[in-house]
Amino acid sequence: MGFYFLLGDECMSGSILIKNIRAVDAEKDIITDVFISSGIIAAVGNDLRNEADTIIDGTDLVLMPSLFDMHVHFRDPGFTHKEDILTGCAAALAGGVTGVLAMPNTDPPCDNPETIRYIIEKSEDTGVDVYPVGCITGGMKGDGLNDYKALKEAGCICISDDGRPVENAEMMRKALEKSNENGLLVASHCEDLSIINGGIMNKGEISEKLGVKGMDRASEDYITAREIILASSADARIHICHVSTEGSTDIIRFAKLKGVKVSCETAPHYFMLTDKLLEKRDADYRMNPPLRTDADVKAIINGLKDGTIDCIITDHAPHTAEEKADFEKAPNGVVGLETSFAATLTALFHTGEISLNRVAELMCVNPRRILGLEIPSIEEGKSADLMIADINRKWTVDPEKLQSKSHNTVFKGMSLTGKPLVTISKGIIRYDER
């Protein structure tokens, strides 16, 4: 059977019986049967004999709650030549993802209820819950706060100016206070633009060798520390986006020990790859923050293992081949929705660094917990948002076969181990590659 996607009226509701599957969530790892009916997990147990419209043999496969990626860029509205909500959701489903947090640097920016409603409505029949992130400041310009109450009423659960920082510390402090009042999470793009000053990759040995301007790690570390101080002052929550440095990881670890309400995320490329790849002068390996060093990779892995880092995300940021053609002038960003699970298994699970239960925490449970959404698990009565994967399947990443409109992946040509085969959203099979 080839893979397929089902949207809207094409979807057929019906019961599903999954036999002899290894069911893994944050708490359990068992061999069992799972029966799905009316959009929920109706039964979990051995030798289930429920009549079902679809029966799946789960032998040698793994069932997990579907992934939630709390950091994507779907480019819609305004940049739909790179990606749109429908193609972004197709990429998500191919990666086992049924929920995303969509960042606001669109055109127009997501700073008003109309744009938020447009994104929610366009995604309604995709099988992916798309939560639009509202802008912290009007138009992401940094010169005035948005109406957070209006954003919340329109459907926002998080605000950010991701793609750029809030440069003024007092404005960020006020944003934290007001977000607290409105029950919104603040997610921070930690970058000091004066330190970056036009840099395009990690500042270090490789940038000097290539003769290009580097991005000093002090930029990320400094704003990470600033946000934590401001959040502590306001007694508010702060979420640190795409952690890439040893310094930021250490700062967040210390803040958690002190009781600051801080959470954070990282992406597979930060615990797998280093700036040595930039020697190819290929802009597909450029993103912001950039690939760092071996020491940073080790620190990120340790942060994932000890609980300092809460989530694995992708920062899925599509750009066209034409835009990525010039190494020094290309925009930053890489796609990642279709490779994140496989990359995580390859780098962390198959190497013995973390368990499958911890993978479920990092990619399924913690993002939803941080956002105040239903905590997924494989038990009776829970929503049937699930993924079936072959965790031992070896495959080579071919950019041309990705569902995203754009193919700027750092994993191109790489062999990964583990792949989502079936994605079930609210009891409906939305993707099938068995």
Give mean pLDDT, residues 217-230. 98
pLDDT at site 10: 46
Residue-wise pLDDT for 57-73, tens only, equals 999 999 999 999 999 99
Spatial distance between the Cα atoms of 308 and 266, rounded to a whole number of angstroms: 11
Does position 28 have pLDDT exceeding 50, yes or no? yes
Spatial distance between the Cα atoms of 239 and 188, rounded to a whole number of angstroms: 6
What homologous superfamily does CATH list for 8-63+381-432?
A: Urease, subunit C, domain 1 (2.30.40.10)
Q: Is 72 buried (19+), middle (13-18) or exposed (0-12) by CB count in 10 A?
A: buried
Does position 174 have pLDDT exceeding 70, yes or no? yes
Q: Are 327 and 283 in contact (CB under 8 A)?
A: yes
Kindly give, in sequence order, each residue whose CB lies less than 8 Å from that of residue 190, ignoring residues fewer than 6 positions away.
165, 219, 220, 223, 224, 227, 240, 241, 248
Containing 395, the helix (H) or strand (E) segment is strand 386-396
Residue-wise pLDDT for 291-300, tens only, equals 999 999 999 9
Q: Are 127 and 96 in contact (CB under 8 A)?
A: no
Domains 8-63+381-432 and 66-371 share a fold: no
Give mean pLDDT, residues 232-236. 96
**Using 50, 70 and 90 to split pLDDT, how confident is the model at 434?**
confident
pLDDT at site 5: 53
Spatial distance between the Cα atoms of 76 and 65, rounded to a whole number of angstroms: 27
Eight-state DSSP code of residue 317:
-
> Which residue is catalytic, options 315, 326, 385, 390?
315
Percentage of the chain beyond pLDDT 90 is: 97
- Residue-range domain boundaries for the chain: 8-63+381-432, 66-371
Count of CB atoms within 10 A of residue 408's CB?
Answer: 28
Spatial distance between the Cα atoms of 295 and 358, rounded to a whole number of angstroms: 22
315 in catalytic set: yes
Residue-wise pLDDT for 124-149, tens only, equals 999 999 999 999 999 999 999 999 99
pLDDT at site 8: 45
112 phi, psi to nearest 5 deg? -150, 155
Give mean pLDDT, residues 266-287. 98
CATH topology of domain 66-371: TIM Barrel (3.20.20)
Instruction: Name the pTM for this structure.
Output: 0.96
Count of CB atoms within 10 A of residue 407's CB?
Answer: 19
Does position 165 have pLDDT exceeding 70, yes or no? yes
- Give the DSSP letter string of 62-96: EEEEPEEEEEE---TTT-TTT--HHHHHHHHHHTT
Does position 353 have pLDDT exceeding 80, yes or no? yes
Does position 9 have pLDDT exceeding 70, yes or no? no
pLDDT at site 80: 98
